[in-house]
Every structure is written in structure tokens, then in C-alpha cells.
Amino acid sequence: MVSLICFLILFLKHNSNNTYIIETLELNGSAREGDALFKMNCVGCHGITARGLVGPDLHSITKRLNDKEIIKQVTGGLTPPMPSFEIDPVNMSNLLKYLHSLE
């Protein structure tokens, strides 16, 4: 019984993550809005030009990671000390568009 409950929890969490990712990727974000979001939340670690400070240089990040991996990194904070961010699909799409503009 406990195994079934754990499986259901993991399944629902995975499914909701997939829904979020799919919804985000279906949107066409705004690089300008993404830049503003970046400047409010990310410059402390990645620098005003996204060249890195505590966090890595984000130029060409979209060549190293695909959009799904970037979404998981931002929402999950997978590499400490990066925190996880609760970000709605529209703003995540905007951030992705901004990151693509850094190529």
C-alpha cells in the first residue's frame, strides 16, 4: 500500500511537471520581458550581462542545454547554490526567449 501511494505521488508530480513544461514550450515569450525578469531575479548570481559571478555565464546556455533542461534547472534549482524558482509558464517562456537572445 505504501508503495502504491509513493508511486502515485511521484506520478502526479512528474505529470504536473510535464504539463508545466508543455504549456511553457507552447508559448512564444518576449525577450524584453525576459530581460526584465532576469534583471529582477538573476543578476545577483549571473551578473547584469549574464556573464556569470557566483552562477555560470549564461551566454550560449541554449546551445548546452535544451529548453526542457533549462526549465527544470530554473524551477528545480538542480545545481546548488541555485535556488528553485516558482515561475508561471508565461514568465518562464519570457526567460527562455531572453536566454536564446544571448547566443
Q: What is the pLDDT of residues 35-49, one digit of tens each?
A: 999 999 999 999 999
User: Does the structure show a pLDDT above 90 at 13?
Assistant: no
Please give the Cα distance from 67 to 21 (Å, whole number): 9
pLDDT in tens, 56-79: 999 999 999 999 999 999 999 998
Q: Residue 103: pLDDT band by 50, 70, 90 thresholds?
A: confident
pTM of the model: 0.83
Degrees, nearest 5: CA angle 11-13-15 = 65
Single-letter amino acid, residue 31:
A
**Domains of the chain in sequence order:** 2-101 (1.10.760.10)
Q: Which residue has the cell 501511494?
A: 5
Our measurement of the distance from residue 30's CA atom to the centroid of its chain's CA atoms, rounded to an integer in Å, reads 15
